Structure 1
Amino acid sequence: MTGRKREDAWQDSDDITLAQTVISHVKLGSTQLAAFEEAAEILGRTSAACGFRWNSEVRKGYETDIKDAKLNRSRAKQKPPTIKNEEVFVSVTKDSIRNNIPFEEVMTTIITLANEQLQTYQTLIEENKRLKNENSELRKQIDTNKSAEPLGQEDLHAFLKIMQRAKSLTKIEP
């Protein structure tokens, strides 16, 4: 079986997708298992295959990214809920009055939810920028490949010339 490549072999782009998915999940405080399931859907593989590939091959090249993601996640968890230069207006609904929910508890919940949403929004903005840059780079690569002469085109022309020459040399005249 030498020289033969598996049809389902992992491509570099598959490894990159797997790594980006896992690191994204780590940043958001999700599990690697959830990342493997998401990557499996994207790549058309099983989550077990994604987990095996991550642990056996891909993880080694992303140790620094993983540490950074874990560090950012732990820093985000340690920050107390804060609202900077913003006023919060809360109208206490009839339900909260009926249920005797203290105003401070309502405010704390709202502030916590707002900070979580802000963090998610900022993460999405960063990921969007990264994906736009990656998309731009891939488009440049596609444009470069389109402008280059297709592989083997020159060899094909040379071969056809040789065949035409051979054909003309083999013609026997009566």
Structure 2
Amino acid sequence: MSIARQDAWTHDEDLLLAEVVLRHIREGSTQLKAFEEVGKQLSRTSAACGFRWNSFVRKQYKSGIELAKKQRKEQVVNDPDLERDSVPVVENNTIEQKSPQEEEKESITLQEVILYLTKMDEFFQLENKEKERIFEQSLLLDRENGRLLEENSLLKENLKAVEEDYRALMQIMERARKLSVQEDEKTNPKVSFQMDKNGNLERVSK
């Protein structure tokens, strides 16, 4: 069983959705069938396709929808057989007015409506689960960020302590060096010290 996609819609997918829905309107079919057709092509649920159409794509094709309806009516005028075989077109959750003969042949059943609403409900449930997952990840990242901040603060304190110890050690070594030089000068006045090119002290005779 293939897993339905939940990623963002692309511009090409919106175009495909609009093309298929408009074609179904021209042919007198239902939008539900159009959503199912697009869903199979894009590996999405028909509910997701319906939600995308009603919430975003349909607003951009108002003139195209009116033109498709007009073309459908023209086809019915030119070919009366189409009127007998036509099925109602659902637009904005309303059904176009049909003749009594057409109403008898109405193809949208209660079962189809329930199926559509069930798929829409599944879509929203998946969307809510995705939001919950993102929220949980956000909480985990916040906790990890807090832990890293505490660790960073502790490392800074440790570094400061090491630097202070290092300076204290250098001061002790400097005092010890000076005392050593003074003792050598007292015991051997003919010997003095000078610094070589590497910064080290060396004894030299006076």
| TM surpasses 0.5 | no
TM bucket by the smaller chain?
0.3 to 0.5
TM-score (normalised: structure 1): 0.42
- State the structure with more CA Rg: 2
- Scaled by the length of structure 2, the TM-score of the pair is 0.36
Q: Which one has the bigger strand percentage?
A: 2
